[in-house]
Amino acid sequence: MNSTPNSISIKSIYIDFKAITKAGLAISVVFSSIAGFLLGVPDILSLDWTILLKLAIGGYCMVGASNAYNQVIEKDLDALMDRTKNRPVPAGRMSPNVALVIASILTLIGIVLLYTINPKTAMFGAISIFLYTSIYTPLKTVTSLSVFVGAIPGAIPFMLGWVAATGNFGIEAGTLFLIQFFWQFPHFWAIGWFLYEDYEKAGFFMLPTGKKDNGTALQIILYTVWLIIATLLPSLGYTGQLFISPVAAVLVFLLGLWMLFYAVKLYKSRTTKAARTLMLVSVSYITLLQLIYIFDKILR
C-alpha cells in the first residue's frame, strides 16, 4: 500500500519538529525538571499532577524554542558540519522564517504555562532561553568560555522543578543548580573532544584549552571532582529541605567514582573512543543520580 502525499507530509512535519526542537535533548531536560519537582513537593505520593504536566509541557516548549532559535542563528554553520547539515533549516526543508515562528510560539506557550505555575518558574525559563540564544550561541565561535555561559541555562532545569514545586529559590534550588552546573563541563567537553574535527569546520572551539590535550583532560577530571563534592552536599545537613540519607550519599559517591574513572581513562588515553564513552557515562550518571535522590526521599 502506497503512502499518500498527505501522510508523507504529516510524517515529515513530525520528524522536522522533532529535529528543530531536538526532542531527545528536550525530553532529558524535562526529566531533570520533573526530578527537581519531585524533590521539592512535600509528598511525592500526593503531588499535583496538573502542575507537573504544565512543567513538563512548558519545559519542553522552552527547551524546544531555545534549540529552534539556535538552529536559525547557526543555519550557515550547521550546513558545514556532518552532524548538523541534515537539520531542517540548513538542509532547506524548513525556511528560517518558519523555524522562527515555531520558536516564538513555543516561547509564548512555555512562558504562559510556567507562569501559571508561579512567576519565578516563568522567569527562570525566560532567562534560560535568553542566555542560550543571545549569549551562549554567539560566543561559540568567539571563545571556549561559551561553555561556561551555556552551563547556566543547562543547569536551570533541575532547580526549575524545585522552584515550580515550592515557589522559592533558596539553598535547595541553588544546590540542585550547582550539581547540574558542574555536570555540564565533563559532559560537554567530552562531546567537544570526540566531535572536535566536526566543530572545527564551523569554527567552534568548545574545549577549554582549544585542543584535545592533557590540559583539557585534566580540567574534565577536576570538574568531575567538583561535581562529586556538590552531589554530596545534601548529606551534610546544610542544604535546607534538600537532604539525602547516608546510604544515598554512599551510592551517589560510588556513582561519582564511576564517572571519575572514565574521566581519568580519557586523561590517560586521550582517544575519541574514551571521550565518547565518557559522554555516554555522563548521561547515565545524571539520570541515575536524580533517581537516587528521588527514591531516597520516597523511602525515608
* CB contact set of 50 (below 8 Å; sequence gap of 6+): none
Residues 184-217: pLDDT tens digits? 999 999 999 999 999 888 888 889 998 899 999 9
Say yes or no to pLDDT of 53 above 80: yes
Model pLDDT, residue 4 = 47
Judged by average pLDDT, the poorest of 75-84, 160-169, 282-291 is 75-84
**Mean pLDDT, residues 105-122:** 96
Model pLDDT, residue 84 = 85
**Mean pLDDT, residues 213-235:** 97
**Mean pLDDT, residues 147-155:** 93
Residues 253-267: pLDDT tens digits? 999 999 999 999 999
| Cα four-point dihedral sign 39, 294, 127, 68 | negative
* CB contact set of 226 (below 8 Å; sequence gap of 6+): 182
Do residues 56 and 90 lie in contact, with contact meaning Cβ atoms separated by under 8 Å?
A: no
Output the average pLDDT for the chain: 92
- pLDDT band for position 274 (cuts 50, 70, 90): very high
Model pLDDT, residue 193 = 95
Q: Measured between alpha carbons, how far is 132 from 103 in angstroms, rounded to an integer?
A: 13
Do residues 294 and 248 lie in contact, with contact meaning Cβ atoms separated by under 8 Å?
A: no
**Mean pLDDT, residues 21-27:** 90
Q: Measured between alpha carbons, how far is 124 from 131 in angstroms, rounded to an integer?
A: 10
Model pLDDT, residue 78 = 86
Judged by average pLDDT, the poorest of 119-123, 204-208, 227-231, 263-267 is 204-208
Model pLDDT, residue 8 = 55
- pLDDT band for position 19 (cuts 50, 70, 90): confident
Q: What is the dihedral of CA 147, 190, 156, 123, to 10 degrees?
A: 40
Q: Which residue has the higher pLDDT, 134 or 4?
A: 134
Model pLDDT, residue 246 = 97
Model pLDDT, residue 233 = 97
Name the residue among 50, 63, 46, 163 with its Cα closest to residue 111: 63
Q: What is the dihedral of CA 196, 200, 202, 206, to 10 degrees?
A: 60
Model pLDDT, residue 3 = 46
Model pLDDT, residue 204 = 86
- pLDDT band for position 134 (cuts 50, 70, 90): very high
